[in-house]
Chains A and B, each alone.
Chain A
Amino acid sequence: MHKTRILDLSEFSEQKNKKASIICSSLTFQKGEKTILSDLSVTFPRNGISVIMGPNGAGKSVLLRTIIGLLTPNSGCVLLNPEYAGRTALVFQRPVLIRRTVYGNLHHALGIAGVPRKERRKRIEELIAIGGLTGFENHPARSLSGGEQQRLQMVRALSSNPKLILLDEPSASLDPQSTLAIEEIIKSTSEKGVKLVLVTHDIGQAKRLADDVTFIHKGKILEQNISPDYFNSPSTPEVKSYLAGDLLV
Chain B
Amino acid sequence: MSTLSEAFLQSFQLIFYLDDTLVEVVLLSLSVTFKAVSLACFIGFPLGTALAVLSFPGQKTLVVLFNSFMGLPPVVVGLVVYLILSASGPLGPLGLLYTPAAMIIAQTILVTPIIVAHSRQIIVLLAEEYDETLRSMQATRMDIMCTLLWDSRFSLFTTVLAGLGRAFSEVGAVMIVGGNINHFTRIMTTAIALQTARGDLALALGLGIILLVLTISINALAYWLKSTWERHSYA
For the complex, would chain A's binding face be called helix, strand, loop or mixed by DSSP majority?
Answer: mixed
CB-CB contacts below 8 Å: B200-235 with A:
233-235
Interface string of B133-152 (1 = CB under 8 A from A): 11111111001000100010
Q: Are A143 and B132 in contact (CB under 8 A)?
A: no
User: What is the bound-complex CA distance between A92 and B130, given in angstroms?
Assistant: 12
Query: Do B135 and A70 touch across chains, with their CB atoms under 8 A apart?
Result: yes
What is the CB-to-nearest-CB distance from A124 to chain B, in angstroms, rounded to a whole number?
Answer: 16
Q: Distance in Å from the Cβ of B135 to the closest Cβ of chain A?
A: 6
Q: Is B129 an interface residue (CB 8 A)?
A: yes
Instruction: Known A112-B143, A141-B234, A142-B234; judge A98-B137 contact (CB<8 A).
Output: no
Interface residues on chain B, size class = 10 to 19
In the complex the two chains form, is A109's CB within 8 Å of B137's CB?
yes
Q: Specify which of A90, A99, A111 is in contact with B136 (CB 8 Å cutoff).
A: A90
Q: Which of A88-116 contact B (CB under 8 A)?
A: 88-90, 92, 96, 98-101, 108-109, 111-113
Question: Does A98 contact B136, Cβ atoms closer than 8 Å?
Answer: no
Number of residue pairs A-B, CB distance < 8 angstroms: 52
Expressed in whole angstroms, the Cα–Cα distance for A88 and B140 within the complex equals 15
Given A70-B132, A143-B235, is A98 in contact with B151 using a C-beta cutoff of 8 Å? yes
A98 engages B130 (CB within 8 Å):
yes
The complex places the Cα of A143 from the Cα of B130 at a distance, in Å, of: 17
Residues on A facing B (Cβ under 8 Å): 65, 68-70, 86, 88-90, 92, 96, 98-101, 108-109, 111-113, 140-143, 160
User: Using Cβ atoms and an 8 Å threshold, which residues of chain B touch A108?
Assistant: 147
Q: Which residues of B are interface residues toward A (Cβ below 8 A)?
A: 129-130, 132-140, 143, 147, 151, 233-235
With A70-B132, A92-B132 already in contact, the answer to whether A101 and B234 are too (CB < 8 A) is yes
Complex Cα–Cα for A249 and B126 (A): 37
Jot down 26 A-B pairs with beta carbons below 8 A, ordered by A. A68-B136, A70-B135, A70-B136, A90-B132, A90-B136, A92-B132, A92-B133, A99-B151, A99-B233, A100-B233, A100-B234, A101-B233, A101-B234, A109-B137, A112-B134, A112-B137, A112-B138, A112-B139, A112-B140, A112-B143, A113-B137, A140-B233, A140-B234, A141-B234, A142-B235, A160-B137
**Residues on the B chain within 8 Å of A99, using CB:** 151, 233-234
CB closest chain-B residue, reference A109: B137
